[in-house]
């Protein structure tokens, strides 16, 4: 027979637990904590799949928190994410999250890839992409960059400085000269821009990303288009700039007017 006092204690504990869970799930409580989150430093949406995709500690803990909590909105989950939000903000200010740091963005893609891939077929296309990756990505890492993401036949990479990015691109171009698949040697076009994009999870967002991407789209085969912001930080004893007057930024979506564009070649 159960001890009456023990049973009473268990019943009391169960009532308290139920009440705490009820308060935790209260829409008013959840909304109140969310309002507090919006006033805290950092991304008030931190914890969603996009923002928690990063490789830093805050992103990792946020993914674990997403597994531990159920799908129902709770105040405790919002409180946990509030702490992680502030942590992530501090990491970015210290440079650990690269959120406010100046970086150089590089976009590349292979000129004529789509037409070639249609003729070559899936097996040859896969061989080419693997060969291109092997010929380029080690140079990115060697020059202190990292590949943010692969974009089919191209990539987005970030570097701590424009000269490192430019030197890496030159090595990538040289490496691709040795690549031949199905009788075809790929040639890439490149866009380089320096700015302060928004770091979100493992990706970067914002106008600076758009600028670098649009430069790559408008470059020719083997051409490196560089924004004025990146060019002014390059070593002119090693880089030959030529002003690109035909580039009309006002006609390019996502790119502000007045941006200076250069074709950059090694001296």
Does residue 245 register a pLDDT over 70?
no
Residue 208's CB: how many other CB atoms inside 10 A?
Answer: 21
Span 9-18, average pLDDT:
80
Please write the tens of the pLDDT for every residue from 124-177.
Answer: 999 999 999 999 999 999 999 999 988 888 999 999 999 999 999 999 999 999
State the pLDDT confidence band at 206, using cuts at 50, 70 and 90: confident
**Adjacent-strand bridge partners of 262:** 226, 243
Report how far Cα 86 is from the mean position of its chain's Cα atoms. Answer: 20
Least confident of 4-13, 154-163, 203-212, 213-222: 4-13
Question: What was the pLDDT predicted at 190?
Answer: 97
Does residue 111 register a pLDDT over 70?
yes
Average pLDDT, the chain: 81
Least confident of 43-47, 131-135, 212-216, 230-234: 43-47
- Residues 64, 41: Cα–Cα separation, whole Å: 22
Question: What was the pLDDT predicted at 67?
Answer: 45
Does residue 233 register a pLDDT over 90?
yes
Question: What was the pLDDT predicted at 122?
Answer: 92
Output the CA torsion sign for 182, 184, 185, 186: negative
- Residues 114, 86: Cα–Cα separation, whole Å: 44
pTM: 0.66
Task: Give the pair of three-digit tokens for residue 40.
Answer: 């805290």
**Terminal Cα-to-Cα distance of the chain (whole angstroms):** 92
Residue 199's CB: how many other CB atoms inside 10 A?
Answer: 26
Question: What was the pLDDT predicted at 11?
Answer: 77
Name the DSSP class of 47. T
Question: What was the pLDDT predicted at 39?
Answer: 79
Q: Which residue has the tokens 């790929």?
A: 186
Least confident of 45-59, 112-126, 160-174, 187-201: 45-59
- Alpha helices for 72-121 (secondary structure H): 75-93, 113-120
Question: What was the pLDDT predicted at 62?
Answer: 55
Does residue 58 register a pLDDT over 90?
no
Name the DSSP class of 181. B
Span 196-203, average pLDDT:
80
Q: List all residues 6 or more positions away from 68 whose beta carbon is below 8 Å from its beta carbon.
A: none
SS3 of the chain: helix, strand, coil, percent, to 5: 50, 20, 30
Question: What was the pLDDT predicted at 23?
Answer: 81
- Residues 165, 102: Cα–Cα separation, whole Å: 13
Residue 127's CB: how many other CB atoms inside 10 A?
Answer: 14
Q: Which residue has the tokens 């799949």?
A: 49
Q: Write down all domains in the chain, each with its CATH number in brackets.
A: 4-93 (no CATH), 103-266 (3.30.70.1230)
Instruction: DSSP for 129-178, please give it.
Output: HHHHHHHHHHHHHHTT-EEEEEETTEEEEEESSHHHHHHHHHHHHHHHTT
The three-class DSSP label of residue 62 is: helix
Could you give the percent of the chain with pLDDT greater than 70? 76
Question: What was the pLDDT predicted at 201?
Answer: 66
Question: What was the pLDDT predicted at 96?
Answer: 43
Does residue 256 register a pLDDT over 80?
no
Output the CA torsion sign for 52, 55, 58, 64: positive
Span 16-39, average pLDDT:
81
């Amino acid at each position: 027979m159960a001890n009456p006092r023990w049973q009473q204690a268990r019943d009391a504990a169960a009532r308290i637990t139920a009440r705490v869970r009820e308060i935790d799930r209260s829409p008013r409580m959840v909304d109140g904590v969310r309002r507090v989150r919006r006033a805290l430093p950092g991304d008030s949406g931190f914890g969603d799949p996009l923002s928690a995709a990063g490789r830093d500690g805050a992103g990792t803990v946020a993914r674990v928190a997403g597994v531990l909590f159920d799908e129902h909105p709770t105040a405790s989950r919002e409180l946990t994410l509030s702490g992680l939000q502030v942590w992530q903000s501090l990491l970015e200010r210290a440079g650990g999250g690269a959120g406010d740091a100046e970086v150089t963005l590089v976009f590349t893609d292979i000129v004529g890839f789509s037409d070639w891939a249609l003729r070559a077929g899936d097996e040859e296309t896969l061989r080419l992409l693997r060969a291109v990756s092997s010929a380029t990505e080690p140079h990115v890492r060697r020059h202190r960059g990292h590949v943010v993401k692969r974009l089919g036949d191209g990539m987005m990479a970030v570097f701590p400085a424009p000269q490192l990015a430019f030197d890496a691109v030159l090595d990538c171009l040289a490496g691709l000269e040795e690549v031949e698949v199905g009788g075809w040697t790929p040639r890439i076009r490149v866009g380089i821009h320096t700015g302060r994009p928004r770091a979100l999870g493992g990706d970067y967002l914002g106008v600076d990303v758009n600028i670098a991407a649009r430069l790559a789209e408008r470059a020719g085969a083997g051409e490196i288009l560089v924004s004025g912001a990146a060019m002014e930080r390059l070593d002119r004893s090693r880089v030959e700039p030529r002003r690109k007057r035909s580039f009309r930024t006002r006609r390019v979506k996502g790119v502000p007017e007045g941006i200076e564009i250069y074709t950059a070649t090694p001296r």
